[in-house]
Structure 1
Amino acid sequence: MKILEKHKIKKSLKFNMHPYLNGAWKPNFTEYHATELKVKGTVPKDIDGVYIRNTENPVQQPIGHYHPFDGDGMLHALSFKDGQVEYRNKFIRTNGFVEEQAAGEALWTGFVNNPAKSKRPGWGTIGHVKDASSTDVVVHNGQVLSTFWQCGEGYRLDPYTLETLGTENWVPEEGISAHPKVDERTGELLFFNYSKQAPYQHYGVVDKHNKLIHYTPVPLPGPRLPHDMAFTENYSILVDLPFYWNPEKLKQGWHIPTYYGKTQPTRFAILPRYGTEKDIRWFEADPTYVLHWNNAYEDGDEIIVDGYFQENPDPDPIPNMPKLMGKFMASLDQRSFKSKLHRWHFNLKTGAVREYHLDDRVLEFGTFNQQYAGRKSRYSYSTWSHPGWFLFSGIVKHDLETGESWSLPFGKKRFGSEAPFIPRKDAKSEDDGYLVSFITDMRWRRSSCIVVDAKNIEAGPVCEIFLPHRICSGTHATWADGPAVRAAKATETRSR
């Protein structure tokens, strides 16, 4: 292994026994640029691009109680070309991160705390927290876009160097939520946001040149907590979920505890991609909360949407723990809220809704071949979790046509990440490619990246690439296609 750069960030975080500041969630404070990494097996030569994962990685001693989603955004990237790999990790230089580095301390409290404890005005739907840009990560117009789950500014970064290029200049006053969607067919980015002021939600479209071309209200009955959206070739799908801030507590300025209206329907807003408020069709379905959708597509008069239906959005505390800690841990545990791969059918002609589980196992954080986004796809790749924790223990591949599935456990005390699909060069079929995942191995206190043949995940990794340090666990990941990134950069250079 050759270390080309090593930079340690200033921190004030002190050791404590918080479960999400230790073990696989122990934060990193050093930024690396490394080549000539140790490899077990052979790195495929038919993939070209960058695998990028976002992580929540706190630097400063928190003000009040710490929640893992409060952590500063740090990206980890492994680039592939001609069988060679290169690793980088960097903090996202958000405005909040830069201000706290200058101050040498935390300036904003986390979302579960008293808003009055923040020392400066914050961002997003809550208003008193830092926009850490630590949740989601996608690639649009040749650059990384990182986003924050409670809405924020949106940060652009170079996918190869991870240099922070600044905030998006098109983001509306209400911000942008995590989980904007990129339509690779058109190059457009579809996004939404939500707030505590009427109309409570908006939806927009950014073109392939990164210009805002559409923005419209999608009104809700009150403040809500949507986390994701879906799209088809012609339609966008947003939701009004019966799980949101407790209205009485919100009047007092508190954002916890949340409220689950178990008799309220889940409402789906379906509108044309460039439609407005008057074009929305609302559909009602069974009560639930959905963190993440998979793909969606049109089939005759129907819109079909796949996602992860929570059977118990407001779970009881995990047993044998103090009540507050048990509730906190349950809220992060897939096995507590029981998320199941699920399918919804919405008939645009009759208004009928039909829904059912596609798998009875507890699963979440799904991926699929993004070249099929918005169109019918056959294969999906989900993760399952370690009991009681926000940690991924393996991958399940589903054939959505035949109902077959195959599993790949990461191994004892090995925890992975969301696993994007990489199309093989000159791919011959939808699943002709690879899955990639960063792995944190707590037996050996080290991290690696595995590359798995998507056609045969049960065969295990075709290679394992060892990183220069053990990385902190996190949330979302993406794949940046090398030729597409280079083409976008060339276009930008010519237009200057």
Structure 2
Amino acid sequence: MSVTIVNRVATTIGATEHPYMTGAWTPNFDEIDAPDLEVIGEIPRELDGVYLRNTENPVHAPIGLYHPFDGDGMIHAISFRDGKAGYRNRFVRTKGFQEEAAAGQALWAGLAENPARSLRPGWGAQGSLKDSSSTDVVVHAGQALSTFYQCGEGYRLDPVTLADLGTESWVPADGISAHPKVDEATGELLFFNYSKQAPYMHYGVVGADNRLKHYVPIPLPGPRLPHDMAFTRKYSILPDLPLFWDPELLPRGLHAARFHKDLPTRFAIIPRFGQPEDIRWFEAKPCYVLHWLNAYEDGDEIVLDGYFQEDPQPPPLPGYDAKIGRMMAYLDEHSMKPRLWRWRFNLVTGETREGPLDDRILEFGTFNPAVAGLKGRYAYSTTAKPGWFLFTGVVKHDLETGRSWSLPFGEGRYGSEAPFAARPGATREDDGWLVSFITDMVEDRSECVILDASDIEAGPVARVRLPHRISSGTHACWAPRSALNQG
């Protein structure tokens, strides 16, 4: 394996026992090129494209309590072609990253701290956080787009070289939320944002030419904290969830999230290029949903799948002081207890029907993007380690029959979100592969695993050794070679 350290970023982080700055979450500071990776097994020659994962890699000692979502964005990319693989990683050079590099210290307090401790004005719905662009990454209009946990500016990178292309020009003043959605059928990107100023939410559509085509308000009763959205071929679905900042504390500058269990969950369903007067509102059981799966039209109904949290305010995890214990609980799926859930909205009667599809604790789902906005058969969710934000395996669901199959990654092996990469010319929805990075704490290394999506329980068809052990992180995506900007 040929490895070149392109850059070593200076850090002010010293010895620490913070649970999300050590172990599987130990940050990386080296930017590396490794064009010829060692392969165990055989990479399918039809697998042609890039797998991108965004991770949180804090560079400077934090102001107060560090939250892992505060970490500086780092994109890890593995490129497959002709049965071979190459790797590189780069920091997302956000404005905040560059200002802190110049200052030689952290300038912004994070999600778990009082925002008044920040030394500079910030970004996001709070207006005080650093936009670290460390949450999600998608490929749209031939380029990679990284995003921030709340609402940020959106940063573009070359999806192959990871060259810094700066902030996205079309992003509105209120930014874009963590999870813009790419519709591969049209090439459009759908997004929303939220803020503390009326109307509190906006929704937009960016064309395949990377130009803003549509941007309208979605009026809400007050500031909210949605994280994700969904779409069908005709409609976009935007949630109004009853977990949001305490309105009595906001005037004092305190951002304390509360679950208002006496309020229903509401869904705004709007035609893709609709106006505010076209919105249809539906009510459902109080809950919080961090991530949605797919949605589709079924006769008079719209069907939406996601991960339902009945009580998203768990007590602090024991064994820590109260503040860290609370943060640990909010990162622990076994505290939040998300379940795969289905909602059905009748556009004629206005009725909502809903219920569980599985009773296991599952989250961070993916599916074949060819069926985005259409009725699909298969979904792929992750399991998690109790007490931690670490992925321990994959569960495949057949949504037609109710069958499921599981693959644990193994003791001390923690994966990443596993997007679906379709086999060229495939005629079956699950004819393709799941791709995931694995951080192996037993062997003290990382690798990329390729799973046959039609038979995940058979284990990896190939394991590709990475040149260093990478930090755990949040979201990932797959982009076929045809979707990449070759210019």
Secondary structure of the residue that 1:292 maps to in structure 2?
A: strand
Deviations 1:204-242 (A, max 9, x none): 000000000100000111111000000000000001000
In 2, the alpha carbon distance for the partners of 1:478 and 1:364 equals 16
1:189 correspondence with 2:189: yes
Matching residue's letter, 1:46: E
Equivalent position of 2:278 in the other structure: 279
SS of 2:429's equivalent in the other structure is: coil
Q: Distance in 2 between matches of 1:297 and 1:485?
A: 27
SS in 2 for 1:361: coil
- Structure 2 letter corresponding to 1:144: A
Asked if the contact 1:4/1:35 (under 8 Å) is kept, the reply is no
Counterpart position of 1:318: 317
Tell whether 2:132 aligns with 1:108: no
Superposed displacement of residue 112, structure 1: 2.5
Q: State the distance in 1 between where 2:35 and 2:175 align.
A: 37
CA distance in 2, matches of 1:316, 1:108: 27
Matched position secondary structure for 1:362: coil
Whole-Å Cα distance in 2 between the matches of residues 107 and 233 of structure 1? Answer: 43
Q: How many equivalent pairs are there? A: 487
Offset of 1:248 from its aligned partner?
2.1
Structure 1 Cα separation of the partners of residues 163 and 109 of structure 2: 26
1:401 partner letter: E
**Alignment partners' CA distance in 2, 1:5 and 1:33:** 7
Give the conservation status (yes or no) of the 8 Å contact 1:5–1:32: yes
Amino acid in structure 2 at the alignment position of 1:461: P
Q: Secondary structure at 2:125's aligned position in 1?
A: coil
Partner of 2:330: 331
Identity %: 64
Distance (Å, rounded) in 2 between the aligned partners of 1:71 and 1:325? 16
| Residue 115 of structure 1, CA deviation | 2.4
SS of residue paired to 2:461: strand
**Equivalents in 2 of 1:324, 1:87: separation in Å?**
38
Q: Secondary structure at the match of 2:454?
A: coil
Tell me the secondary structure at the aligned position of residue 283 of structure 2: strand
CA deviations over 1:21-48 (Å, ceiling 9, x no partner): 0100010000110022121111110111
Q: Paired residue for 2:475?
A: 476
Amino acid at match of 1:111: L
Residue 62, structure 1, aligned to residue 62, structure 2: yes
Could you tell me how far apart the structure 2 residues matched to 1:116 and 1:340 are? 36
2:368 alignment partner in structure 1: 369
Native 8 Å contact 2:182 2:189 kept in 1? yes
What SS class does the counterpart of residue 20 from structure 1 fall into?
coil
Answer yes or no: is the 8 Å Cα contact 2:436–2:448 preserved in 1: yes
Distance, in Å, in 1 between the alignment partners of 2:15 and 2:206 is: 43
Unaligned runs of 5+ in 2: none
Residues in 1 aligned to 2:376 and 2:396: alpha-carbon distance in whole angstroms: 13
Measure the CA separation in 2 of the matches of 1:333 and 1:266.
22
Distance 1:317 1:484 in 2: 44
The answer for the alignment partner of 2:175 in structure 1 is 175
Report how far residue 116 of structure 1 moved.
Answer: 2.7
| 1:423 alignment counterpart | 422
Corresponding residue of 2:14: 14
Measured in 2, the distance between the counterparts of 1:357 and 1:417 equals 24
Task: String of CA shifts for 1:176-214, please: whole Å, max 9, x gaps.
Answer: 111000010000000000000110000000000000010
Does the 8 Å CA contact 1:202/1:217 hold for their aligned counterparts? Answer: yes
Map 1:79-478; keep pairs closer than 5 Å.
79-256=79-256, 258-478=257-477
What does residue 3 of structure 1 align with? 3
CA contact (8 A) 1:341 1:363 kept: yes
2-structure distance, mates of 1:478, 1:57: 18
Normalised by the length of structure 2, the TM-score is 0.99
**Over aligned residue pairs, what C-alpha RMSD do you find?**
1.0
Partner-residue secondary structure (3-state), 2:318: coil
Q: Partners of 1:96 and 1:327 in 2: how far apart?
A: 27
Give the deviation of 1:410 after TM superposition. 0.3
Give CA-to-partner distance per residue, 1:265-292, whole Å, 9 cap, x none: 0000001001111111000000000000
Q: Distance in 1 between matches of 2:252 and 2:429?
A: 51
Residue 96 of structure 1: SS of its match in structure 2?
helix
Partner Cα separation in structure 1 for residue 433 and residue 50 of structure 2: 13
Deviation at 1:311, TM superposition (A): 2.2
Mapped to 2, the partners of 1:323 and 1:122 lie a distance apart of: 27
1:469 is matched by which residue type in structure 2? H
In 2, the alpha carbon distance for the partners of 1:404 and 1:295 equals 18
3-state SS of paired residue (1:196): coil
| 2:42 aligned partner | 42
2: CA distance between counterparts of 1:407 and 1:96? Answer: 40
- Tell me how far apart the structure 1 counterparts of residues 322 and 59 of structure 2 sit (CA, whole Å): 28
Q: TM-score, normalised by structure 1?
A: 0.97
- Contact (CA 8 Å) 2:27, 2:470: kept in 1 or not? yes
**Residues 413-456 of structure 1 deviation map (CA, whole Å, 9 limit, x = unaligned):** 10000000000122121100000100000011110000000000
Q: Runs ≥4 in structure 1, deviation > 4 angstroms?
A: none
- Indicate the SS of the match to 1:21: coil
Q: Deviations over 1:105-155 (max 9, x none)?
A: 111111222223222211111111110000011110110011101101001
Q: Kindly tell me: are residues 293 and 216 of structure 1, through their superposed partners in 2, closer, same or farther at Cα, counting changes over 3 Å?
A: same
Secondary structure of 1:290's aligned partner: strand
**Aligned partners of 1:112 and 1:255 also within 8 Å:** no
CA deviations 1:315-355 (Å, max 9, x no partner) are 11223433332221111111101000000000001101000
CA displacement at 1:3 relative to structure 2: 1.2
- The CA distance in 2 between the partners of 1:25 and 1:368, in whole Å, is 26
Is the contact made by 2:112 and 2:327 (CA closer than 8 Å) also made in structure 1? no
Distance in 1 (alpha carbons) for counterparts of 2:98 and 2:185 = 36
**For 2:371 and 2:356, how far apart are their aligned partners in 1?**
22
1:41-93 superposed Cα distances (whole Å, 9 cap, x missing partner): 11110111000000011001111111000000000000001101000010001
Cα distance in 2 between the residues matched to 1:327 and 1:130: 22
Give me the whole-angstrom Cα distance separating, in 1, the residues matched to 2:204 and 2:5. 39
Query: 1:247: Cα distance to partner?
Result: 1.6
List gaps (5 residues or longer) in structure 1: 491-496
Letter in 1 for 2:380: Y
Report deviation, 1:5: 4.0
User: How far apart in 2 are the matches of 1:40 and 1:425?
Assistant: 23
Q: For residue 101 of structure 1, report the CA deviation from its aligned partner.
A: 1.2
- When structure 1 is superposed on structure 2, of 417-426 and 113-122 the one drifting more is 113-122
